[in-house]
C-alpha cells in the first residue's frame, strides 16, 4: 500500500493548517460493533505518519470511553494533532440508556471540564456543539463557548448539524471554524443551504460519515444480516430491509469508476467528498472512520484521486435515489429544521 502523504487544508478562516483528511475515532469505542484496542492504536499512529492531523471524538462516544482511549495517543503527539471533541448529548439521571440534548451554560461548563479531564490535556483544539437544543438560543450557547475560548480551555469553535440560519446567528457571536455534518454520495441535504453559508462565512465543512458509514465501501450490504446486534447502523432506515437492497444497486456507477482508476469503492466515495471543495468553493475536510491501519492507508491515498467531470456527472444522481433517511428522527439534523 502507498505511503502517500495527504495534502493540507486550513481549519476555518484563521485556524491552523491541518491534514485535508481527518480521522473519525468514534468506532474505536462505540456504535460499530467489536473493537480491538491494539489495532485502533496502530491506526492512530499510521494516520499521523500519513499526514492526518485532526482526530474526531465526542464525549458521547461510549460515554467518555473514546476520549479516554485516545488520551495517551494525544499526549504522545500533543503538538502534531488537532483534538476535536463535542458536547450536547447528555445522559438523563433517571435512564442511563437514553440521551437528551443540552446546550445550556451549566451543562457546557461541566462537559468541557469532564472532557479536559478524560483527555488529560490543557486545551481542546476544536470544541463542537454536537446537536442543537432548540429551546436554548444559539447565541447563548455560542456565547458560553466563546467564554471557554477566552479562558484558554478551547481554541476554536465548531457546530454539528446546524442549519444555515443557526450558523449565521452563531457567527455573529464568535467566529466558527467548522461545521460538522454528514456529507457523502448518499447524504447531500446540506448542499441546499448549509454549504453556501459555510462558503460565504469562511467556515470549514468537516464531512462526517463520508463513506456512508461503510455502506459505500461495499463492506456490508444489509445491517440486519451483516452487523452485530448492538451496531448502531441497524437503527438507520437506509441500511436495512428493502431499502438496503435498493441502495446496494446504487453502488454500480461507483464500482465502474473505481475500476477505471484502479481504486476501491471507498476511495471513490472519499475522492467525491474531497472534490466538493472545488465544486462549492470552500474548505472541506472529510473524517472517514476506521480502526484498521490498512484502511487508513487506503483512505489517505484517496486524496490523490481526481474525478473527471464525466465521472462526477455519473455520480450526481445517486443521492436523489437513496431509499430511507439517514436517521430515524431527522429533527436532530439540519435538514430536519430547514
Ligand X SMILES: NC(=O)c1ccc[n+]([C@@H]2O[C@H](COP(=O)([O-])OP(=O)(O)OC[C@H]3O[C@@H](n4cnc5c(N)ncnc54)[C@H](OP(=O)(O)O)[C@@H]3O)[C@@H](O)[C@H]2O)c1
Q: Which is nearer to ligand X, 12 or 210 (CB)?
A: 210
How far apart are CB 201 and ligand X at their closest, in Å? 19
Residues 6+ apart with CB under 8 A from 310: none
3-state secondary structure of 254: helix
**Which grid coordinates belong to 136?**
436554548
197 with 164: CB under 8 angstroms?
yes
Q: Which is nearer to ligand X, 219 or 304 (CB)?
A: 219
Distance CA(193)–CA(199), nearest Å, equals 10
| Burial (Cβ within 10 Å: 0-12, 13-18, ≥19) of residue 190 | buried
- From 32, 55, 61, 327, active-site residue: 61
3-state secondary structure of 90: strand
Residues 6+ apart with CB under 8 A from 304: 2, 4
Beta-strand ranges (E) seen in 2-88 are 8-10, 17-19, 23-24, 54-56, 82-87
Block residue for cell numbers 430547514: 338
How far apart are CB 288 and ligand X at their closest, in Å? 4
Distance CA(271)–CA(308), nearest Å, equals 11
Residue 327 appears among annotated catalytic residues: no
Q: Which is nearer to ligand X, 136 or 313 (CB)?
A: 136
Angle CA 226–228–232, to nearest 5: 100
How far apart are CB 296 and ligand X at their closest, in Å? 8
Q: Which is nearer to ligand X, 30 or 107 (CB)?
A: 30
Q: Which residues bind ligand X (CB under 6 A)?
A: 24-27, 32, 56, 130, 160-161, 180, 208-214, 217, 219, 266, 287-292, 295, 298-299
Q: Which is nearer to ligand X, 152 or 227 (CB)?
A: 227
Q: Which is nearer to ligand X, 151 or 327 (CB)?
A: 327
Helix, strand, coil abundance in the chain, percent, nearest 5 = 45, 15, 40
- Of all residues in the shown chain, the one whose CB is closest to ligand X is 24
Q: CA-CA-CA-CA torsion for 171, 176, 181, 184, nearest 10 degrees?
A: 110
Distance CA(125)–CA(240), nearest Å, equals 37
Distance CA(166)–CA(338), nearest Å, equals 10
Which sequence positions are flagged as catalytic?
61
Amino acid at each position: 500500500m502507498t505511503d502517500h502523504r495527504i495534502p493540507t487544508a486550513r481549519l476555518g478562516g484563521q485556524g491552523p493548517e491541518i491534514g485535508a483528511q481527518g480521522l473519525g475515532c468514534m468506532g474505536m469505542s462505540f456504535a460499530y460493533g467489536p473493537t480491538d484496542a491494539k489495532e485502533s492504536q496502530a491506526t492512530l499512529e499510521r494516520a499521523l505518519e500519513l499526514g492526518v492531523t485532526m482526530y474526531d471524538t465526542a464525549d458521547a462516544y461510549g460515554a467518555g470511553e473514546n476520549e479516554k482511549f485516545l488520551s495517551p495517543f494525544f499526549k504522545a503527539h500533543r503538538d502534531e494533532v488537532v483534538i476535536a471533541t463535542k458536547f450536547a448529548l447528555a445522559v438523563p439521571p433517571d435512564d442511563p440508556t437514553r440521551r437528551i440534548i443540552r446546550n445550556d451554560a451549566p451543562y457546557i461548563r461541566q462537559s468541557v471540564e469532564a472532557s479536559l479531564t478524560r483527555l488529560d490535556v490543557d486545551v481542546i483544539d476544536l470544541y463542537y456543539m454536537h446537536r442543537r437544543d432548540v429551546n436554548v438560543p444559539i447565541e447563548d450557547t455560542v456565547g458560553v463557548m466563546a467564554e471557554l475560548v477566552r479562558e484558554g480551555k478551547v481554541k476554536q469553535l465548531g457546530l454539528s448539524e446546524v442549519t444555515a440560519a443557526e450558523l449565521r446567528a452563531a457567527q455573529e457571536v464568535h467566529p466558527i471554524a467548522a461545521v460538522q455534518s454528514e456529507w457523502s454520495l448518499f447524504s447531500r441535504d446540506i448542499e441546499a443551504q448549509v454549504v453556501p453559508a459555510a462558503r460565504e462565512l469562511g467556515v470549514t465543512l468537516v464531512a462526517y460519515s463520508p463513506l456512508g458509514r461503510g455502506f459505500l465501501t461495499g463492506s456490508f450490504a444489509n445491517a440486519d444480516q451483516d452487523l452485530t446486534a448492538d451496531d448502531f447502523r441497524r437503527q438507520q432506515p437506509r441500511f436495512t430491509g428493502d431499502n438496503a437492497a435498493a441502495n446496494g444497486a446504487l453502488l454500480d456507477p461507483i464500482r465502474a469508476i473505481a475500476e477505471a482508476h484502479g481504486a476501491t469503492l471507498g476511495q471513490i466515495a472519499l475522492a467525491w467528498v474531497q472534490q466538493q471543495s472545488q465544486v462549492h468553493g470552500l474548505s472541506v475536510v472529510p473524517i472517514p472512520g476506521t480502526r484498521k491501519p490498512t484502511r487508513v492507508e487506503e483512505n489517505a491515498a484517496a486524496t490523490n484521486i481526481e474525478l473527471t467531470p464525466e465521472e462526477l456527472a455519473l455520480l450526481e444522481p445517486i443521492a436523489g435515489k437513496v431509499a430511507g433517511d439517514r436517521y430515524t428522527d431527522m429533527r436532530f439534523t439540519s435538514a430536519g429544521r430547514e
